[in-house]
């Protein structure tokens, strides 16, 4: 479930970038400079948010598959 949450969050970030590109194409005729600045800020923000998600994956890398061994069988069944 934790991995699915991370994957869905990264998908949301990717869809946000797509929406920003669409907004850029819509607003570039109004003011191309402001549209380009907004697009660049959105892409940098998405990159920073994606890199921040790596910190959320760190517990999965440290614990590995043996991390669930700390729980009893009943507790593991309750997790899923």
Which sequence spans correspond to the domains of the chain?
2-65
pLDDT band at 62 (very low <50, low <70, confident <90, very high): low
Q: List, for residues 1-11, the tens digit of each pLDDT value.
A: 777 888 898 99
- Decide: 42 and 16 in contact? Cβ < 8 Å: yes
Query: How large a percentage of the chain has pLDDT more than 90?
Result: 49
The Cβ-side half-sphere exposure at 44, using a 13 Å CA radius, reads 6
Measure Cα distances from 35 to 31, 38, 42 in Å. 6, 5, 11
- Please, are residues 17 and 42 in contact by the beta-carbon 8 Å criterion? yes
């Amino acid at each position: 479930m934790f991995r699915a949450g991370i994957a869905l969050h990264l998908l949301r970030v990717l869809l946000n970038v797509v929406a920003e590109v669409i907004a850029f194409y819509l607003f570039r005729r109004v003011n191309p400079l402001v549209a380009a600045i907004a697009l660049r800020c959105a892409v940098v923000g998405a990159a920073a948010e994606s890199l921040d998600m790596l910190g959320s994956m760190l517990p999965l890398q440290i614990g590995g598959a043996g991390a669930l061994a700390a729980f009893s069988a009943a507790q593991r069944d309750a997790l899923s």
